[in-house]
Amino acid sequence: MNKISIIAPASAAPLKSLNQGLDWLNQNDLDFDLPKNLLKPKLFFASSVETQVEHIQQALKSEAEYLWCLRGGYGSARLIPFLEKMKKPKTKKTLMGFSDITALHLFFNQVWKWPTLHSRVLSQMDPQNPHEDDGQYEKLFSGALTSVEYKGLVPFNAAAKKKQIITSTLTGGNLRILETSIGTSWQLKADNKILFIEDVGERGYSIHRMLTHLEQAGVLNKKVQAVILGTFTEGLEKDGTDRTQEALKAFAQDSSIPFFTGLPCGHGPINYLLPFGTKAQLSVGTKAKLRVEL
């Protein structure tokens, strides 16, 4: 079995959620490292920045193959200056997580050139409340999962209906964090890649504004091979309506980049694994599908 190091680079999770995650690991007979003081909350964070950095350093030096983040929330980006001062480890590790963890995905993918996995965080795993995608995670850690394939992607603009095969790699993650990266040392580099985007708690106008900012900053440009939209949740207007899809479609229809929706990844009830930085093939057209190697 592949060993897992648990890290908490962002916000703290309730102790109950941590214990549920540990129960899931134990139920699946997975070997894992649990560092001391993983949850010693300070301000918005799971622990002090020094403790978080120390835990990452320990995980990078360990025999673990996977670095599984306990929770997203806020805080991952403040660790990047410390990672930049470190010498790149000789042994590759696979980072797992999503949401605020997007900042670390970009660093691992773009600076260290390591593939990562956009995935559930450990605190979301619960053997007493299984998810539809749990089996995929079990296959991952058993070594039985070598690729993922998602059918039924829906073209969101005219460019996405033109039949073609795009072979590239995936990057991206949470839209708010991708926008936050602009102007930093870890700014999103999506040229010649397939860009995945998801978000939570953002109203329609906010989503459109962030996409416009990415476009005007030159990050979302014609060199981006395609954009695949994951789930966008909890973005209700004050009157209770949801304008997130309206905003996404309006932006997509004004773009020459192929846009697709329908990928079950993000803050919804299902969050399937999505490898970043590995070979990906997107079949473009009315019957679009995505296949990504691990």
In terms of Cβ atoms closer than 10 Å to its own Cβ (0-12, 13-18, 19+), residue 284 is buried
Q: Could you report the per-residue pLDDT of 239-257, keeping only the tens digit for each? A: 999 999 999 999 999 999 9
The set of catalytic residues is: 99, 198, 267
Residue 101 has pLDDT above 70, yes or no: yes
Residue 93 contacts residue 64 (beta carbons within 8 Å): yes
User: Which alpha helices (DSSP H) does 13-154 contain, by range?
Assistant: 15-27, 49-61, 80-85, 102-110, 134-142
pLDDT range class, residue 73, cuts 50, 70, 90: very high
Q: What is the mean pLDDT of the chain?
A: 96
Helix axes 204-216, 244-253, angle to 10 degrees: 30
In terms of Cβ atoms closer than 10 Å to its own Cβ (0-12, 13-18, 19+), residue 196 is buried
Residue 17 contacts residue 45 (beta carbons within 8 Å): no
Q: Could you report the per-residue pLDDT of 11-56, keeping only the tens digit for each? A: 999 999 999 999 999 999 999 999 999 999 999 999 999 999 999 9
Q: Could you report the per-residue pLDDT of 154-184, keeping only the tens digit for each? A: 999 999 999 899 999 999 999 999 999 999 9
Residue 135 contacts residue 159 (beta carbons within 8 Å): no
Whole-angstrom distance, CA of residue 183 vs CA of residue 162? 34
- Residue-level length of the chain: 294
Q: What is the pLDDT of residue 1?
A: 45
Residue 185 contacts residue 252 (beta carbons within 8 Å): no
Q: What is the pLDDT of residue 287?
A: 87
Q: Which domains does the chain have, with CATH numbers?
A: 4-142 (3.40.50.10740), 147-293 (3.50.30.60)
Looking up tokens 């593939």 gives 115
Average pLDDT over residues 201-228: 98
